[in-house]
Amino acid sequence: RISSEPVEDTDTTSFVAEFSLETNYPVQVTDPHPCEKCFCPAPPPKISDLMNDKDLLDLLRLKLDPNHCTIKNWKNFASRWGMSYDELTLLEHRTQGSLSHSPTQEFLSRYNQKTVTELTELCRIYQRIDVLRLLQSWIEKDWPSRWQ
């Protein structure tokens, strides 16, 4: 007959009970002098990280805000990432003539959880090598120090 009650295991040969304070202590080693420079690689930057760099953001605005018939700009990028024609038009009208509001900045704010690498892919697709170089330089030179 099978019992439905829990049964206590009293067989002591089924496990080894060796405990030593020496092998388990200290659990955490603390250094009174925190490291000056961490050698961990910086995580891939997101657009939200890029937007904290005012100088870079200003350069991106200068390159992507202007409307020119042969040069791809913020509209092409935003459209590629899913903004509808109506959204693009509304954003353009809302920022038109404003020095404080930029369509590029608004577009980047909307997609701020995407990675900067995804943004560089748009630069490749639309052959915006000037913007691509700017972003690559920022990723290589500025981002690691900003991440620290």
SS3 state at 115: strand
Domains of the chain (ranges; CATH) run: 47-147 (1.10.533)
Reply yes or no on whether the pLDDT at 24 is more than 90: no
| Per-residue confidence (pLDDT) for residue 2, from 0 to 100 | 59
Q: Is the pLDDT of residue 26 over 80?
A: no
Residues 42-88 have pLDDT tens digits of 788 999 999 999 999 999 999 999 998 899 999 999 999 999 999 99
Q: Is the pTM of this model over 0.85?
A: no
Task: Label residue 89 by pLDDT band (50, 70, 90).
Answer: very high
Mean pLDDT of 82-99: 88
DSSP code per residue over 29-66: ---SS--SS--SPPPPPBHHHHTT-HHHHHHHHHHHSS
